[in-house]
Amino acid sequence: MAIYLNDVSRTFGEYLLIPGLTTKQCVPSNVSLRTPLVKFAKGEKSAIELNIPLVSAIMQSVSGPELAIELARNGGLSFIFGSQPIVSQAEMVRKVKKFKAGFVVSDSNLTPENTLADILSLIQKTEHSTIGITDDGTPNGKLLGMVTSRDYRVGVDSHDAKVKDLMTPFSKLTVGKLGMSLSEANQIIWDHKLNTLPIIDKDQNLCYFVFRKDYDSHKNNPHELSDNSDKKLLVGAGINTRDYKERVPALVEAGVDVLCIDSSDGYSEWQYETLHWIKENYNNQVLVGAGNVVDEEGFLYLVEAGADFVKVGIGGGSICITREQKGIGRGQATALMDVAKARDAYFEKTGFYVPICSDGGLVHDYHMVLALAMGADFLMMGRYFARFDESPTKKLRIGNNYVKEYWGEGSNRAQNWQRYDMGGSESLKFEEGVDSYVPYAGKMKDNLKLTLGKVKATMCSCGTLNIPELQNNVKITLVSSTSIVEGGAHDVILKEQS
């Protein structure tokens, strides 16, 4: 006979937060949203800590390199989608790692014998206007000069003009020496009013560029999620349980910081084998999350397999129809509370804390606070990020409204059969996601500022200044359907509708 659970499967919309004492210290500027991403032992710190508790979903219509760059600059993390060839996914990871490194390895290089036509073609390809001129045209060849947009005039100079006649020669360049600190390099940039400082070794070989814009950018993004040693942005990547033996090495070589097995149902032997292979072959040095699960059994199964974090949620995403198609899943709030309880019990028993990620079911901004209060360490979102300029989809005008395309990984459009893999032949048997639009919302930074402002204000109303305090001290209540109506505008005629 089937096992029947007594609890009701509930969503975030069925709960409200009860205000706590708001002290004079409880102001948004004092609130910390820092949170662990991966497993750590009691008394230690997580190897990666997010500065804001948000990560972007492993989806074609969400997590490309542009969004990954912008989210990391604002304190969160993206997982580059895995439903693409291994080579292109690895290249997306490289693009993020190269973008902001403090010391940047040049990906735009030519020789003195190249032409202006070569310069223009390279700029179109790399979208970088600073070009290192080396003896062999490689990133680490002997530096002979540099070309920027100030060295030529497209409408005046011949496209056949030689680079050696256009470039600023080495003798006129201000350079830094290999081994200097980033602060020392920035000081030279400031003192000499430079936009770019080439860094060379003792043999005059080009090693890196340091850019003024990166320094300014870092000042404008104080919560940037980057490596402390080299200032490279952090980025994750999604993998599946089919080609992981080829995909993981390519992503590790590209510099990925953390992996996540992407599946609608993570409670499987396929995920166990994938986790075990990664941990064994990389001596526990590669960080990898797993999921998705909705109960204690699923959580413990993946943790014992070696998962560094576990994703919670089946069927709660706005474009997910798994519950409709297969009748499996659980209300996101109920699933999250159950797994959080298992996480805490595991920590008490073993001394290892395994963060959990709430994936799906967030409709309103205050649901983010509810999810964190119910035990989530961080939140994975797709629809939220798909609306922004930085997502990889097209902005379209439909009627009088601007929208962006947004499709599920379980849709025919994505063709991500590996995510819904149940063994057998390689094909998508039926859809578990839809193809849709979301309202266009503009730049990520502006929207994040508003959203995080709401989150911090709500935490202050609960009398808490950080996520652990929120989880340990907040009071939560169930609400009736009529009290939900009461919570919105009612019994008035809104002016924009009159």
Q: Torsion over CA of 436, 440, 443 and 445, rounded to 10 degrees?
A: -70
320 noted as active-site residue: yes
- The catalytically annotated residue of 320, 357, 460, 462 is 320
- Which residue has tokens 């540099």? 146
- Nearest CA to 76 out of 492, 449, 403 is that of 449
Q: Are 241 and 274 in contact (CB under 8 A)?
A: yes
Using the 8-state DSSP alphabet, how is residue 91 labeled? H
* Token pair belonging to 480: 């009736």
- Nearest CA to 340 out of 381, 297, 296, 306 is that of 296
- The catalytically annotated residue of 330, 343, 383, 419 is 419
Tell me how far CA of residue 433 lies from CA of 56, 401, 430, in angstroms: 17, 24, 9
Rounded-to-integer distance, Cα 407 and Cα 79, Å: 16
| Helix, strand or coil, per DSSP, at residue 127 | coil
Tell me how far CA of residue 149 lies from CA of 103, 167, 408, in angstroms: 21, 10, 41
Burial 132-158 (b: 16+ CB within 10 A, else e): bbbeebebbbbbbbbbeeebbeeeeee
Q: How many CB atoms lie within 10 A of CB 196?
A: 19
Q: Which residues are catalytic?
A: 320, 419
